[in-house]
Structure 1
Amino acid sequence: MMEAANCSLRVNRLLLDPKFESYKLSLDPLPCYGVELDTAVAEVKLRDDQYTLDHMRAYGMYNYLHCNPWSPDSVFYVDQLGRVMNINVTLDTALGKPIEVFRFPSDLSSCDRRLCSSIHFTSQDWVTLSDGTGTLYLIHILRNDQSAAGKWELKFNQELGDPFIVLHSVLYTRSEVQIIDALILSIEKDELDVEGSGFHVSLEWISITCSPNDDKYEILKRRNLHGKSVPHYAAIEPDGNSLTIISYKPFRFIADETNQPEEERMEEEEKKGKEVRELFKMTFALPEGAGRAVLSSGSVEVTLAKREVGNMWAEVIAGDTQGEFVADPAQSAAIAERLMHLTSEDLNPNPDCEKPPCNAQELEECDMSLEDSTTLCRFDGNTTKATHVVNLGGNQFLFSLEAAPELMPCFSLRHDVDALMWQPVSSQGDNLWDHAATFNALGYVQASKQDKKFFTCAPNFSYAALCECVRRIFIYRQPTPVSTVLYNRKEGRHVGQVAKQQVASLESSDPILGFQASNERLFVLTTKKLFVIRVNTAG
C-alpha cells in the first residue's frame, strides 16, 4: 500500500452550480403501473449467526432487482422456485407477465446456509450468476428467437466453496482467448479476530476461459483479498488488468500457498533471514549455604531467548509475582521517546486558546460520518499491489450504477452538500476518474432520509431517485428551463430554470426488495409485485 501513488479526484467546476437554491416540490402526477408476480421473490432473511453490520450491508440490504445495462428497460429477479424471471417493458400500459429465462438445476431451498441469488450482466451475450449456495454459473445468451431476453444457455458451473454473491464481471480477449473475470464476495468466520466481529470479508477474483463454439471452459486463476468491512464499491477494469475498491477498511491480497497476507509473509521471511533474537536475563539469589561450595557467588544468572521479538513479559512464570523487574536504561529511554508526543511538561499549556474550527456539538446529525477514513484503491492484477490510492475523507459514498455498460460502474460521492458522479476511465494516465455529473444539494437532502434503503439515478443523469424501506419513492430532477418567468424576491433576479422534486407512493405495504432506474422509468420490486413508474417520456 505504501508504494501506491496518492491521488485526488479532480472536480470539474463547470459542473457545479453555486447559485442553486433548492428543489421545488412538484405535484405533477407520475404514472405508475404494476404487475403481479406468479411466485414470490426468493428473499433470504439473515440468520442468527449473521449478526454483524457487514452481514446487514452485504445481504440484508441486497438489491433483488437486476437491470441489463445493454437493455435498461429489461429487469430480472429470482423467485422462490429458483427461476430467473424477466420483465421487458416496451409499453407501460401493457405490461406482460414475467417470463422464465433460466432455472437453477438444484433445489435451493434445501441449503441451510444459503444466501440470496445474484446476477451480473457481463456483456451483451454473457451473464454471471450465483445460486447463493456456493456455485458459480456462466450463461451464454442466444438472440435468434423471439424473446427480448434471448435464449439463456448454461455453459459452465463450478462449486467454489462457501456461499457468495457476485459483485461484478467483465469479458475481454487476451491472446485471442475470451476470458470472463468475476468478482465474488463472502463473509467468513475469522478465528484470529478475537477483539473484532469474529468475521472477515473475502473477495475472490476469478478468471475463466470461455469458448462457446467448442464448449471449453477452465478456471485460469483465483486471487483472494481480505478486508474488515464490506466494500461500498468493487469492480474490475474492462481489460481485466486491475481492480478498484472503495471501502472503509483496507483490503489486501492473500498469498495462495499459506493463506496469509502477502505483506505479512514477506515481513516474516525478512525477520527469519536476519535471525533476530531478543535475550532476557534473570538472576536468582541462592539460599544461605546452598551451592556456595560449588559456585563462587551467591546467585545464578539464567538467559532466555524470546520467541516473539518485542513482546513484553509481565511475568516469567504465570501467576508468580515474586522478584523485581530491572529495566534496561537504553530500552527505557527508547520507550520514553516514543511516548513523548503524548505528554506535556505543563498541566494545561494553553487554556485560553481559541475555539476549534469545528465544534462537533454544532453539527447536524446528517453531517456525521463514521467512515471518514474511507479510501478508493486501485490494485494491479498482475503484481497484486496498489497503484493508486485516494483518501475520500468525509466524501460519503452514496451509490453506484452502470451508466455506460462498456465502462466500469460509476459511483456517487457527497462533496459538501452536492452529490457528484464519478466515472472510472483507464485511458487518461493518472486521471483515472472523470467528474461526469452533479446532483445539486442532493448529498445534504439524502442525509435527512433516515428510512432510505436504495439510491440510484438514470444512466443519462437526468434524475436521481431514492426509496424508503416501504412505499415511498423520492425523485430529484436536474434543473430545466421554465416556460413562465419566475422572480426571486430575495435576490431581486429572474429565475430561468427550476429543479423539481416529486414523490410517489406505492399501493403496497410490502417491503421494497429491489430498485432500478432507466432513463424513462423506475422499477420497484416488492415480494409479490413489480411496479413501473414513468418518470420521463422517450426522446
Structure 2
Amino acid sequence: DTALQKPREVFRLPTDLTAYDNRLCASMHFSSATWVTLSDGTGRLYFIKSGKRGNTASEKWEIMFNEELGNPFIIAHSVSFVKSGVHSVAVLLLRVEKDELDTKGSGFHVTLEWLTVAEISKEGDHRHEIFKRRVLQGKSVPHYAAIEPSGDGLMIVSYKPFKFVQDEDDKLEENDDAETTNEKRDPLYYWQQTEDDVTIAVHIPQDITKDDIKVHFSPDNICVRLKDQPPLMEGTLYSSVDHESCTWIIRDNKSLEISLIKKNEGSQWPELILGDTRGEFIMDSSQRSEISDSLMHLTSEVMNPNPEKEKPPCNAQELEECDAFLEDSASLCRFDGDTLKVTHIIHLGSNQYLFSVVGDPKEMPCFCLRHDVDALLWQPHPDQPENMWEHIATFNALGYVQASKQDKKFMACAPDYSFAALCECLRRVFIYRQPAPLSTVLYNRKEGRQVGQVAKQLVATLEANDPILGFQATTERLFVLTTKTLFLIKVNSGN
C-alpha cells in the first residue's frame, strides 16, 4: 500500500531555465481532470492538455497555450470551465514586486493577476488567446485565493486588503466622475417646518409664469412641473398632509413657495420626500435650542463625575494590546468579476487561518480557521449569496494543538475530513484522527461514565533529515516530499 510505481515522464519544459536570473521555482495547478496550468518561474505561462489523468496508457501532455507575461510569478489557483459553449481557463498569478512609492513600509507590494484565456475558433483553426486581464494589489501575500468554478468571482483571505488596479483610461473616467460628484451643488429646494406645517422654497427661472407651473397635491405625494419639462419635484412625502389645504404662490418672480399642512400635528419630519437628497432643511434658532436641551442629559462638564458607579465609562489607558482592534486584521473578501468590486467582506479577527484543502473538485477549495481551541473547515458556495460559506467539519482541539508546534511547516486534512495532519520542517509528521466508536468497553473512572468515542493522535518520523518541501493528504494516505525522497504514509483506519 505504500509502494510507488516507477515515475513516468509526461511533460518536459521546452527551454533551458538555468540561464535566467531571478527566476522563481516552477509551479503548477490542476485546473480540471484534463487541464493543467504551469509556470516555469521566468514569467512564461503554459496551458497544457493532459488527457484523462490516472490512466496508465495516457499520452504525453500537450501545450495548448504559452505566452510571456512579464515578471516571474507562481500560480495561486486556476479553474477550467465552459460558458456559452466556449472553453476558458482562469488563472491567478502571484507576484511580489518592488514598490518605489512605498518609502515607509517594506518597499514591496503583492499583485494577483486574474487572467482568463478562452478558446477562439477562426476558419477552422482552434487556438487559445488571452480574453481578459485584471490585476489586484495588496501589501501581504494572501493566505487563500481562489477563483469560483464559473469564473465569475474571486475569494481572498489576507491580512492586508486587496483592491483592483485600474487601467489609465478607467482612472481618468473615475477621476472625472469624482470631480463631478465632489462639486458642491446648490440644493434644488429649501424647506423648514413647524409643528403644524411645512414650507418649501424652490428657485425658478425668471421667464416662468404662473401658468407654466403645475403643482399636484395628494395626501401622501407631491408633484411639481415647470411647463412641459420632467417633474422638478416628485415623490412620496414623509408623512400625510391635508392636501385640500395645501397652497403655493410665486415670491418676487424668483421662487416658488409651497405650504403643506401636516395631518399629524406636532410630528417632526426628518426628511421631506422619501429618499430625495436634493433639498436642504433650514432649522430656526428655537428648534436648535429644543434639540440641544433634549441632549443635555447625555453630556457633562466633568470627565468622569461618578467613577464608583456600577458601569464606569471605558478608559482607553486600561486596555491591553490584545483588546485593540487591528485596522488591517485578516479578512475574507469576495470580488465580483464584472464590477471588480467587493460584494462580501468578513473580518476574521482572532479566527486564525490554518490551511486550505480541496474536498470536492467541482467546488472551490475549503479553508480552515481556528475558532477558540478548535479548527473549523468552511466550504465556499458562490452560488448562494445568502449562505456563501458553510461549516462542514470540525477538528476538535486542533487549533490549540497546532499552536504548540513551533516548527510547523504544512497542514492538511483528508478530503473526507476523517483526519487532519501537520508536519514540522524536518522529519516529524503528526496525524489527528476524528473521534471514532470503540470496539470494546471503556470507562472514565473519574467521572464514572462509559466512553463512546476516542480520537487518536499518530506520530510518524521520516527516515531522512532533508527539509520537507511538500505535504498532501488523500482519504487514506499522506504524501510527504523532501529534497531527495517522496514518502508515502498509509493512514490505516484501524490504527
> Do the two structures share a fold, i.e. TM-score over 0.5?
yes
| AA in 1 matched with 2:472 | Q
Say yes or no: does 1:440 pair with 2:393.
no
Structure number with larger C-alpha Rg: 2
Q: Over residues 185-235 of structure 1, what are the superposed CA-to-partner deviations in whole Å (9 max), with x where a residue is unaligned?
A: 101111111111111110011111136994411100001111111111111
Q: Label 1:355 to 1:217 Cα distance change in 2 as closer, same or farther (>3 A).
A: same
Equivalent residue for 1:168? Answer: 77
The offset of 1:445, in angstroms, is: 0.8
- Pick aligned residue for 2:485 from 529, 534, 537: 529
| AA in 2 matched with 1:97 | K
The answer to which structure, 1 or 2, has the higher relative contact order (CA under 8 A, 6+ apart) is 1
- Pick aligned residue for 2:427 from 471, 476, 498: 471
Equivalent residue for 1:340? Answer: none
Q: Over residues 369-388 of structure 1, what are the superposed CA-to-partner deviations in whole Å (9 max), with x where a residue is unaligned?
A: 98971111111100111111
- Pick aligned residue for 1:190 from 96, 99, 102: 99
Say yes or no: does 1:266 pair with 2:174.
yes
| AA in 2 matched with 1:248 | Y
Three-state SS of the structure 2 residue aligned to 1:243 is strand
Indicate conservation of the 8 Å contact 1:519/1:536, yes or no.
no
- Pick aligned residue for 2:89 from 180, 205, 216: 180
TM-score by length of 1: 0.64
Structure 2 unaligned regions, length at least 5: 185-299
Equivalent residue for 1:153? Answer: 62
Count, aligned residues:
374
Q: Label 1:125 to 1:349 Cα distance change in 2 as closer, same or farther (>3 A).
A: farther
Distance in 2, Cα, partners of 1:100 & 1:384: 40
Q: Label 1:273 to 1:429 Cα distance change in 2 as closer, same or farther (>3 A).
A: closer
Q: Where do 1:63-462 residues align within 5 Å?
A: 91-92=1-2, 94-143=3-52, 147=56, 150-210=59-119, 214-257=125-168, 266=174, 269-271=177-179, 373-462=329-418
Percentage of pairs with the same residue? 60
Equivalent residue for 1:482? Answer: 438
| AA in 1 matched with 2:128 | Y
Three-state SS of the structure 1 residue aligned to 2:399 is helix
Distance in 2, Cα, partners of 1:368 & 1:461: 35
| AA in 1 matched with 2:485 | K
Distance in 1, Cα, partners of 2:325 & 2:40: 35
Distance in 2, Cα, partners of 1:412 & 1:148: 37
- Pick aligned residue for 2:452 from 488, 496, 502: 496
Distance in 2, Cα, partners of 1:395 & 1:389: 14
Three-state SS of the structure 2 residue aligned to 1:115 is coil
The offset of 1:428, in angstroms, is: 2.8
Three-state SS of the structure 2 residue aligned to 1:271 is helix
TM-score by length of 2: 0.69
The offset of 1:147, in angstroms, is: 2.7
Three-state SS of the structure 2 residue aligned to 1:430 is helix
Distance in 1, Cα, partners of 2:54 & 2:89: 25
Three-state SS of the structure 2 residue aligned to 1:435 is strand
Q: Label 1:226 to 1:268 Cα distance change in 2 as closer, same or farther (>3 A).
A: farther
Indicate conservation of the 8 Å contact 1:144/1:150, yes or no.
no
Q: Over residues 279-335 of structure 1, what are the superposed CA-to-partner deviations in whole Å (9 max), with x where a residue is unaligned?
A: xxxxxxxxxxxxxxxxxxxxxxxxxxxxxxxxxxxxxxxxxxxxxxxxxxxxxxxxx
The offset of 1:271, in angstroms, is: 3.1
The offset of 1:113, in angstroms, is: 1.2
The offset of 1:151, in angstroms, is: 2.5
Three-state SS of the structure 2 residue aligned to 1:481 is strand
Q: CA RMSD in A?
A: 3.2
Three-state SS of the structure 1 residue aligned to 2:50 is strand
